[in-house]
Chains A and B, each alone.
Chain A
């Protein structure tokens, strides 16, 4: 395996400036009629960083952006260490929530399929739908699909599409969604925290951030339970995807595609061939 590069002073310098600037601005909440929207430093850092990286601005080279992505991958480990250190003292509380923690894994893996697959079929997707909706399509899930179908299969393209969208907009979208969900009052902050614990590093960080801004008194609990949910997903995720999510998605696809799918069989053949 080729060693990934983490070296770019320019990237670190930008991050330092972004962090100082955004932490200085601090947390702001805006009321937009249907609810307050929470804005906080990591969200500004994400958005301003994204603008800086726009290829048309020519501030960063492709190589530097790749370094930023490599650093992103390992920087999450520091966050994991910090979350687990919050979890240590709360272990009894985590065990007490064992049932919910276990169950929400089911919600996590079923949720992607139950909502995603019908919509994908109604929109006229074919086998791409399987790759797109069997999981949230982060790196480990991509590997599973690539191994089974190949990266250039319809399933592989579906998975890669969701992966790319997630990388680009996942964190931002989910933090907005988390703040709306938090304000419905239907959920306990800890339930939402567990929901936030699934997903990739930056998505989880952004959701935990949004929830802690809205429930500042439960901030530590939110971090603890999001961390616990994330750890369980990490441990079980691959097995669940291989032995449950993917077969179930396949089964449901075969069952519902003829009912919900939009195009005729002939088009379907063309679609796969394309």
Chain B
């Protein structure tokens, strides 16, 4: 757990730098917001560990983050205002940097695969994305939402 907290803090600092360079928000301005994001994430892990109901960590984190930004939570506006300073794109850049740096580890495994499975993977991903977008679009057109 201590390792995780430290890791989140490091990623947070890296994202603050990216947020500063890419979105012109000084790291000091965005620091409180980032601390809230890290705190919610850590709390989510803690909840998943101590609460007897078995739920994935992602769900604990999402629920906590949702609750503190809805009007039922006193101070939700402050939370929103502070975390707004952290651009979500700035938070995604380090994630994909870690993804990139782990690329080499699966190459060996990949070389063993046939070309068919590569084609299928692309088809599977295309089908998933296109069809779910399409169904959502049809839903919106039927209900007249957003159109």
Residues of A within 8 A of B (CB): 3, 5-7, 11-12, 14-16, 18-20, 22-24, 26, 40-43, 45-55, 60, 62, 64-66, 68-69, 71-72, 74-89, 91, 96-97, 99-101, 103-108, 110-116, 119-120, 123-125, 128-129, 132-133, 136-137, 158, 160-162, 164-171, 173-174, 177-178, 181, 186-188, 190-192, 194-196, 198-199, 201-203, 205-209, 212, 219, 223, 227, 229, 231, 234-235
Residues of chain B lying within 8 A (CB to CB) of residue A74? 4, 7-8
Across the A-B interface, how many residue pairs have beta carbons closer than 8 Å?
409
Q: Which residue of B lies closest to A178 (CB)?
A: B129
A65 touches B102 (CB 8 A): yes
B93 touches A124 (CB 8 A): no
Q: List 9 A-B contacts (CB under 8 A).
A: A78-B41, A80-B62, A96-B145, A108-B131, A137-B124, A170-B121, A194-B132, A206-B92, A223-B88
B117 touches A165 (CB 8 A): yes
Task: Give the docked Cα–Cα distance between A83 and B2 (Å).
Answer: 24
Residues of chain A lying within 8 A (CB to CB) of residue B75? none
With A11-B101, A47-B100, A81-B37 as known contacts, state yes or no: A191 contacts B137, CB within 8 Å: yes
Task: Give the docked Cα–Cα distance between A78 and B33 (Å).
Answer: 12
**Residue B46, interface by CB 8 Å:** no
Residues of chain A lying within 8 A (CB to CB) of residue B122? 165, 169, 173
B127 touches A20 (CB 8 A): no
**Residue B50, interface by CB 8 Å:** no
**Residue B31, interface by CB 8 Å:** no
With A65-B104, A87-B69, A231-B62 as known contacts, state yes or no: A45 contacts B96, CB within 8 Å: yes
Q: Which residue of A lies closest to B79 (CB)?
A: A85
